Amino acid sequence: MKANKIMEMTSQELNDKIVELKNELFNLRFQLATGQLDNPMQIKAIKKDIARAKTILRAREIKA
């Protein structure tokens, strides 16, 4: 997910997206543990998306 797309979201949408991404990360980790994960790089991408969303949320908190 691109940073400019995240910037367009409201704070509530960002919180919802973070929860969704964390659930997806859990599922990917579960697939990795059971040997069913096809592309392990997905885990890294999801982690980065979570970090981007949290960074933008924090910047908004500081700005307010």
The one-digit pLDDT tens for each residue of the chain (64 residues) are 788 898 899 999 999 999 999 999 999 999 999 999 999 999 999 999 999 999 999 999 999 8
Q: What is residue 9's predicted lDDT score, i.e. its pLDDT? A: 92
Q: What is residue 1's predicted lDDT score, i.e. its pLDDT? A: 75
Residue 14 Rama label (left phi>0; alpha psi -120 to 50; beta)? alpha
Quick check: 21 and 50 in contact, CB under 8 A? yes
* Of 11, 17, 13, 21, the residue nearest 60 (C-alpha): 11
CATH number given to 3-63 = 1.10.287.310
Quick check: 59 and 27 in contact, CB under 8 A? no
Q: What is residue 2's predicted lDDT score, i.e. its pLDDT? A: 80
Contacts with 21 (C-beta within 8 Å, 6 or more apart), sequence order: 46, 49, 50, 53
pTM: 0.90
